Amino acid sequence: MRKPVGILILGWINFLFFGLFNFFVNIYTLFNLKTDHLIQINEILLKKSLPQLTYPQLRAANIFNIFLSFIFLLSGLGILLRKRWGYKLTVYFSFFWIIFVFLIILINPAIFKHLFLHILYPGILILYFTNKRIWGYFNL
């Protein structure tokens, strides 16, 4: 069976963009963050009426994003290599991510417009990967 185009697109997006690119950006930010940067970030957040961040909060967010980038790396790799674990990781993580984002929105409803894409992309993954044709591709 030929690899579906959606598998190639979503697999590479997960692997390259959300995986490798985010990993390197967050590693760089983690080790090169200066007080001036935090001031600039907080000015942007203030303009958008979002809560301000402290230095430890921003570092914790970087570490969390590094962890997420590993999940995306594994997800993309598993999808591209046609592994069941890659399929399951992608679908389960997408459900988890949507629930996580909804909890954030419940805590701070004003942030919804900033998190819309964090609901949209996992939703696309769930809709695509729960298609029976894709189940067949992964022999589920």
**CA 137/CA 86 separation, integer angstroms:** 12
Q: Which pLDDT belongs to residue 13?
A: 96
Q: Which pLDDT belongs to residue 87?
A: 96
Q: Which pLDDT belongs to residue 116?
A: 86
Q: Where along the chain do its domains lie?
A: 5-137
* DSSP assignment string, 29-96: HHHH--HHHHHHHHHHHHHTT-----HHHHHHHHHHHHHHHHHHHHHHHHHHTT-HHHHHHHHHHHHH
Give residue-wise pLDDT tens across range 87-140: 999 999 999 999 999 998 898 887 888 888 899 999 999 999 999 999 889 987
- For residue 75, pLDDT over 90 is answered with yes
Give residue-wise pLDDT tens across range 24-69: 999 999 999 888 889 999 999 889 878 888 999 989 999 999 999 9
